[in-house]
Amino acid sequence: MIENKTWKNTEPLFSAIEGFLSPEEGGFLFRMAGTCKGMGAIVEIGSWKGRSTVCLAAGARDGIKIYAIDPHSGSSEHKQQMGRIDTLGEFQDNIKKAGVGHKVIPLVKTSELAAEEWQGPIEFLFIDGAHEYELVKQDFELWSPHLIEGGIIAFHDSVDWPGPKQLVRDEIFLKSGYAEAGVVGSITYAKKIKDCGQMQMLGKKWKLFLKYFYDYGRTHQVPGWIRGLGKLMLPRI
Ligand SMILES: C[S@@+](CC[C@H](N)C(=O)[O-])C[C@H]1O[C@@H](n2cnc3c(N)ncnc32)[C@H](O)[C@@H]1O
């Protein structure tokens, strides 16, 4: 149960839940959820056992609902490794243990099915479902129209997974509908805007270059000074 909401007292609950988010990424979701003013819901696509859900719910002020969309049958990579999957029981237990059940509305279905019935505005959209390019694109196309202007979109695994990485390059960094793009761990985020203008476009292209530079340094044998430079640049993305 979270007594009063700080990342410091949420982190132990976060760490007790098996999942794919680093503490840095969890802290980011917690803080971004805390910036929501109640102008729309928080929507998460891909909850697994609730690690990211707990960060969003603990960070959000009371009255804001977190819609956690997941069929709880795993993504293709989980099914390949583990066979049949059912994460719903553990998800429900973890949400209850964290004391955030009153804020979380689980939609136990795929994002495609959930989108058919969705109506309201969204203030923060976190996409961490299927990672194949066509499926991340589908999530983006189905859900981003509901994001309010000034709302935040964030994609997990968008630095090194080919599908989300390509999607954020094409739709976030190279198009004008998003501004203030940044990277935290493997999360890329940006603010929805009508048109970010020439200067912001230039800034986003520079950030895209830094993002690829960072990823290259992480995944290839490079001299230590290049790796150090990449680390130095990362907080500037
Ligand atoms: C990488 S995990 C999510 C990890 C989670 N955010 C965390 O913090 O641990 C991906 C999740 O996406 C779900 N998923 C796969 N395809 C989906 C779809 N079409 N719609 C919604 N969720 C989906 C899987 O069941 C799986 O639980």
Q: Is the pLDDT of residue 234 over 70?
A: no
Widest pairwise Cα distance in the chain? 52
- State the average pLDDT over residues 218-223: 79
In angstroms, the CA 223 to CA 225 distance is 6
> For the domain that residue 123 is a member of, what is the CATH number?
3.40.50.150
Give, using CA atoms, the residue closest to atom 11 of ligand 1.
Answer: 46
- CA–centroid distance, residue 139 to ligand 1 (Å): 12
Q: Which domain holds residue 71?
A: 7-156
In the predicted model, what is the mean pLDDT of the chain?
92
pLDDT digits (tens, 9 = 90+) for 53-64: 999 999 999 999
Query: Is the Cβ atom of 26 under 6 angstroms away from ligand 1?
Result: no
Backbone angles phi, psi at 153, to 5 degrees: -115, 140
The answer to whether position 141 is within a domain reads yes
* 3-class SS of residue 198: helix
* Count of structural domains within the chain: 1
Query: Is the Cβ atom of 139 under 6 angstroms away from ligand 1?
Result: no
The answer to whether position 77 is within a domain reads yes
Exposed, middle or buried: residue 109 (CB in 10 Å: 0-12, 13-18, 19+)? middle
The answer to whether position 108 is within a domain reads yes
The answer to whether position 64 is within a domain reads yes
- CA–centroid distance, residue 88 to ligand 1 (Å): 11
Query: Is the Cβ atom of 152 under 6 angstroms away from ligand 1?
Result: no
The pLDDT confidence band at residue 1, using thresholds 50, 70 and 90, is: low
Angle, CA of 146, 51 and 14, to the nearest 5°: 130
pLDDT digits (tens, 9 = 90+) for 73-127: 998 887 778 878 899 999 999 999 999 999 999 999 999 999 999 999 999 999 9
The pLDDT confidence band at residue 3, using thresholds 50, 70 and 90, is: low
List all residues 6 or more positions away from 60 whose beta carbon is below 8 Å from its beta carbon: 33, 34, 36, 42, 66, 103
The answer to whether position 177 is within a domain reads no
Give, using CA atoms, the residue closest to atom 6 of ligand 1.
Answer: 47
